[in-house]
């Protein structure tokens, strides 16, 4: 049978593309092995991994529907089920059940956050990238998260569980200033630190590359800043931060004031607003007063609010219970600026995408979605926040990708090429040092 020239051309293109992907491995692996690769620990962003829950006898549902709702009704029998992401959250009657199970509560006597009574949660597959690929493995096409990025790393020679590891976490919880109780967030930093040490030990003592997305970059930076210089130099080679909101986002002020549904029209933002306000990590992501300064970010008929007016803003939107934890736990952590990484950092950021810069509220108040004025950023994080680390520290390299959004950075072919090239470059520096 005569060969089809179109198919032959496509085959040639695929072969060349495969060779291009393999080239860094060949260059890095002079000894014919990928064991020279630095291990990678991947730290996802907010909402970027699966979260499971089970309900105990202490769970007090708000309705009969919530009492019965759960995968195959297993929730009410104490079985574990996927809390995030579950497509039932998009169905209005179940949105309320989802919100009450996701809600955190700040306990003033503990000065810390806890789950709702009767709701236990866990993060599956810590140490693996398995739970980072898709938010729901049964809905791969619509819940894809890090699958394209992990696939690109595997083409470079990385293998999950050998030199590639995932560090998922309960993204509702955050961190607090030194001296404040923070049970869940502090335990996560311990787990992350142990994973990094184990990854290094299992790969000939080579220091680890931390590869983070969004909020994961803040956790990585806090871990570095809270660790000794000797530990950092021993165990961490480089931090590659994708779309990191170093100084928070104006988008978070919209979330707290009016609720945010990612533009999904069937979900009432007011149904999820309370749950979103309860998130400790969301409080952490409010705009930093040091970086955003005195510029008006929220404007109403009566007054305007800058990042330096956050306490008044939280009170005026009707979230008085958020004032104390923000003032005592968050503000001291961000007011003095970002902690020193102590290792080389590469920030890969999107830009040129309309990003909320100012929120203007009319007569309807905060229960109505505002008019949004846009500025530069990646669609979620403002440019000034994406570049905050570059302005604050040395040894920071920034790779700007125009037209790439906050989440597209994990899927866009050009973005993935840049990320893989940077990972390859970090590894090649190590190889050259061995040669000399």
What are the tens digits of pLDDT across the range 31-65? 334 568 999 999 999 999 999 999 999 999 988 88
Identify each DSSP E strand in 101-193 by its residue range. 104-107, 112-115, 119-122, 164-166
pLDDT score, position 78: 62
Q: Is residue 410 pLDDT above 60, yes or no?
A: yes
Pairing of strands 164-166, 119-122: unpaired
Question: Which two structure tokens, joined as six digits, stand for 236?
Answer: 């961490």
pLDDT score, position 21: 37
pLDDT score, position 26: 35
Residue 298 lies in a domain: yes
Residue 165 lies in a domain: yes
Query: Which of 160, 316, 378, 412 is flagged as catalytic?
Result: 378
Average pLDDT, the chain: 89
Residue 79 lies in a domain: no
CATH number at residue 314: 3.40.50.1820
Three-class SS state of 229: helix
Residue 418 lies in a domain: yes
Residue 65 lies in a domain: no
pLDDT digits 0-9 by tens, 224-238: 999 999 999 999 999
Average pLDDT over residues 286-293: 97
Query: Which of 212, 214, 227, 278 is flagged as catalytic?
Result: 214
107 is catalytic: no
Residue 370 lies in a domain: yes
Structural domains in the chain (count): 1
Question: Which two structure tokens, joined as six digits, stand for 307?
Answer: 């990042």
Query: If we measure between CA atoms, which residue out of 122, 121, 119 comes closest to residue 61?
Result: 119
Higher-confidence residue of 250 and 435: namely 250
Residue 287's domain spans which residues?
A: 38-48+126-435
Residue 12 lies in a domain: no
Q: Which helix (H) or strand (E) holds 240?
A: strand 236-242
Query: If we measure between CA atoms, which residue out of 157, 188, 181, 210 comes closest to residue 346?
Result: 210
Rounded Cα–Cα distance for residues 139 and 85 (Å)? 10
214 is catalytic: yes
pLDDT score, position 20: 35
Rounded Cα–Cα distance for residues 102 and 172 (Å)? 8
Higher-confidence residue of 335 and 25: namely 335
Give yes or no for a contact between 415 and 353, defined as CB atoms under 8 angstroms apart: no
> What predicted TM-score, i.e. pTM, was given to this entire model?
0.89
170 is catalytic: no
Residue 71 lies in a domain: no
């Amino acid at each position: 049978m005569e060969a089809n020239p179109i198919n032959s051309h496509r085959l040639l293109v695929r072969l060349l593309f495969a060779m291009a992907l393999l080239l860094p491995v060949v260059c890095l692996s002079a000894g014919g092995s990928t064991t020279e690769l630095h291990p990678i620990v991947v730290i996802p962003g907010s909402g970027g991994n699966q979260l499971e829950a089970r309900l105990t006898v202490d769970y007090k549902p708000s309705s009969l529907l919530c009492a019965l709702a759960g995968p195959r009704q297993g929730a009410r029998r104490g079985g574990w089920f996927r809390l995030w992401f579950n497509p039932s959250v998009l169905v209005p009657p179940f949105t309320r059940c989802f919100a009450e199970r996701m809600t955190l509560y700040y306990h003033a006597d503990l000065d810390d956050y806890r789950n709702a009574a009767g709701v236990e949660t866990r993060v599956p597959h810590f140490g693996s990238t398995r739970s980072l690929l898709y938010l729901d493995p049964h809905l791969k096409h619509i819940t894809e998260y890090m699958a394209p990025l992990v696939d690109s790393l595997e083409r470079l020679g990385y293998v999950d569980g050998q030199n590639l590891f995932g560090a998922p976490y309960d993204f509702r919880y955050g961190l607090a200033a030194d001296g404040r109780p923070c049970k869940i967030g502090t335990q996560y930093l311990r787990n992350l630190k142990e994973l990094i040490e184990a990854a290094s030990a299992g790969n000939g003592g080579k220091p680890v590359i931390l590869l983070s997305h969004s909020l994961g970059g803040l956790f990585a930076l806090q871990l570095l800043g809270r660790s000794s210089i000797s530990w950092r130099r021993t165990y961490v080679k480089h931090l590659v931060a994708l779309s990191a909101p170093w100084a928070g986002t104006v988008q978070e002020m919209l979330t707290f004031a009016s609720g945010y549904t990612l533009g999904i029209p069937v979900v009432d933002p007011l149904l999820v607003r309370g749950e979103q306000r309860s998130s400790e990590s969301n409080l952490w992501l409010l705009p930093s007063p040091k970086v955003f300064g005195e510029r008006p970010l929220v404007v109403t008929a009566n007054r305007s609010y800058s990042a330096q007016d956050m306490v008044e803003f939280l009170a005026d939107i009707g979230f008085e219970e958020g004032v104390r934890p923000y003032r005592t736990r968050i503000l001291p952590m961000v007011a003095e600026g970002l902690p020193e990484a102590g290792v080389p950092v590469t920030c890969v950021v999107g830009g040129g995408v309309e990003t909320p810069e100012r929120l203007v509220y009319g007569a309807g108040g905060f229960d109505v979605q505002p008019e949004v004025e846009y500025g530069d950023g990646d669609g979620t994080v403002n440019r000034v926040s994406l570049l905050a680390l570059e302005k604050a520290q040395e040894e920071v390299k920034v790779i700007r990708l125009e037209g790439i959004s906050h989440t597209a950075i994990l899927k866009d072919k050009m973005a993935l090429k840049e990320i893989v090239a940077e990972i390859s470059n970090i590894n090649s520096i190590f190889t050259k040092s061995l040669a000399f």
